[in-house]
Amino acid sequence: MNTALTQQVFDLIRLNNPLIAVESPLQERLRLLKNLAGECQQKNVNCYIWTLEDDQLHQLQVNEDLVLQQVLDYQSIAKNRREHYFEVLRFWKTTNLQGILILEGIFPWLGTNTSDPDFFLTAEWIKSALINLKLYNRNSNKTAILLGPNASLSSDIAAEIPTVTQKLPTVEEISTHLLGVLPNNYSETEIHEIALATVGMYLADIDYGIKQAIASGSTNAQELTKKLSAYKVDLLRRVYNIEFLQPPAIEVGGLDLMQSAFKRYKRLLTPLAKAYNLRLPKGILLIGPPGTGKSYSAKACSQQLGIPMIILEWGSFRSYGNLAEYKLKNLLSLVDRINRVILYLDDFDKGFAGDDDLSRRLAGMLLTWMQERTSDVLIIASANNIEWLPPELTRSGRFDDIFKVDLPNNGERHSIFTLHLARFDYRFRNGNGFSDEEWHRLLKATHRCVGAEIQAIVERAVISTFCLMFKDDVLPVGELPPLNITLSALLEARNNINPLAIREAERIESMRNKADLQGQASSPVDSSIYSVGNVDIFGG
């Protein structure tokens, strides 16, 4: 089977490139080797492979499976004059053998520079040997393919070695592959649905997921789709250190202006908007103090648009060190292939707290991708300290919309309380639950509390109410009596917490003031019956 990647490689060979780099994930290695060896057989070209692990040269052939035959010439010649572990480069330059040589395991010496002198000397020798090999083997019917999962090349050699990268398969490619894998009784529509569920995985991963699902007894299309979706979520978490969420069913208290903006974004995904060349914003930035609902707002956007969300802790990329750019490149390729998805960069500012070269390089990669991408990916980033972000990230044209997510006003706190109380007390599901006077007392007592703190207050009050109602753990006979959450229970729970906006008043006010300078309001002026106009910001 001649894949697009194989076609790219042979196109470069036809252009007389004696040295080519190929980036392919490990799980696709067997399929790629079969494709390369099979294409070589069709063209009557020899195909060889050398691996760093055993320092042996084998000729590749394909019958029903991949066959490796040891090349004894290399073992005898290399053994007699080996000076170091990469004698294969010198051998391929001078041998009478012709065809394609696949070299696995060399890329670590071709990436960024190192301060280790031994590693540096080996890396320089390999680079020199590759350049000599390229010059020596030009027009000699010999091609060396450097193969690995990370084809990162340092700047001094990158221009000399064309690189091709194995991309994630498209929905169409997956559907075609599934036709040869799934039972014949699956309809075209069912196969398309399974393909949609598996976008973001390589074919080898899809095959493994199908085997697992069938082994567990999932034989119909609906069960298989569900199992493969769960397998993909787990795989993406392990490979990319991200969380993949389907559109949640949530309610949001307040932030009406931001919610209206999300509804506009949904219209930009329609065919009518596409006909007018309208697009989603390049990015959305949510700024404000901790606990004000930035992450919750991103989930609300996922719900409004009806598209899944990938949650990434941006600061985690710093822990990858030299692999950070490779990890980010792969992640951006993933979201591009999934297409209609929200990429949520949580705690975006923490990734720039160090103000080092790595942070700037990652920011540059992200900005370039945001400017050039054509996919329907919506970037949402959240930040507490906007001053940590590089100025180029917040200038006009980078993040199209910047929202200030502030401390909730009285009307918003009423909505947030109602949402959380309704989870436990039926009175708040269809009615008010409290009198206006009781609400005024509660809202005054919780001034400067954020959404996360309101949730904590409600849950503490629910626990204390439960413990007072039931002195033992015996399940009552008949219908469960309702939990009636009282104002006094909520006020007592409020007294047991110290809101961050009061505890760290100076720091929180600094965040709010700086957010005011950059962001547009996410909430309108409070026009609810609970609005009290100007109040002492410290709740006095």
Task: Report the C-alpha gap between 493 and 491 in whole angstroms.
Answer: 5
pLDDT of residue 79: 62
How much is the average pLDDT of 445-459?
Answer: 94
Interval 355-402: pLDDT, tens: 678 888 888 888 889 888 888 999 999 999 888 888 777 777 778 899
Who has greater pLDDT, 456 or 313? 456
pLDDT of residue 208: 94
Q: How many CB atoms lie within 10 A of CB 426?
A: 13
DSSP 112-170: S--S-HHHHHHHHHHHHHHHHHHHHTTTTTEEEEEEES-----HHHHTTS-EEEPPPPP
294 closest CA partner among 388, 406, 458: 406
Contact status, residue 99 vs residue 60, Cβ threshold 8 Å: no
Tokens representing 464 are: 């204390």
- The CATH code belonging to domain 4-165 is 3.40.50
Beta strands in 376-521 (DSSP E): 377-383, 401-404, 520-521
Interval 38-55: pLDDT, tens: 999 999 999 999 988 888
Task: Report the C-alpha gap between 451 and 458 in whole angstroms.
Answer: 11
pLDDT of residue 357: 80
The pTM for the full model equals 0.84
Contact status, residue 285 vs residue 321, Cβ threshold 8 Å: no
Task: Report the C-alpha gap between 267 and 72 in whole angstroms.
Answer: 65
| pLDDT over 80 (residue 262) | yes
The percentage of the chain sitting over the pLDDT mark of 70, rounded to a whole number, equals 96
pLDDT of residue 139: 76
Q: What is the 3-state secondary structure (H, E, C) of 282-335?
A: CCEEEECCCCCCHHHHHHHHHHHHCCCEEEEEHHHHHHHHHHHHHHHHHHHHHH
pLDDT of residue 478: 80
| pLDDT over 50 (residue 534) | no
Mean pLDDT for all residues in the chain: 88
Residue with tokens 């069938």: 214
Tokens representing 357 are: 């070269």
pLDDT of residue 319: 79
Longest dimension (CA), the chain: 95
> CA angle at residue 32 from 30 to 35, to 5 degrees?
110
Same fold, 4-165 and 410-471+481-497: no
Who has greater pLDDT, 68 or 323? 68
403 closest CA partner among 382, 385, 376: 382
Task: Report the C-alpha gap between 236 and 538 in whole angstroms.
Answer: 44
| pLDDT over 70 (residue 443) | yes
The helix (H) or strand (E) run that includes residue 501 is helix 500-503
Domain ranges of the chain: 4-165, 171-239, 256-404, 410-471+481-497
Question: Which residues in 206-232 are b (16+ Cβ under 10 Å) and which e?
Answer: bbebbeebeeeebeebeebbebbbebb
Lowest mean pLDDT among 79-83, 295-299, 450-454, 521-525: 79-83
Classify domain 410-471+481-497 at the CATH topology level.
Helicase, Ruva Protein; domain 3 (1.10.8)
Domain 256-404 has CATH 1.10.3720.10: no
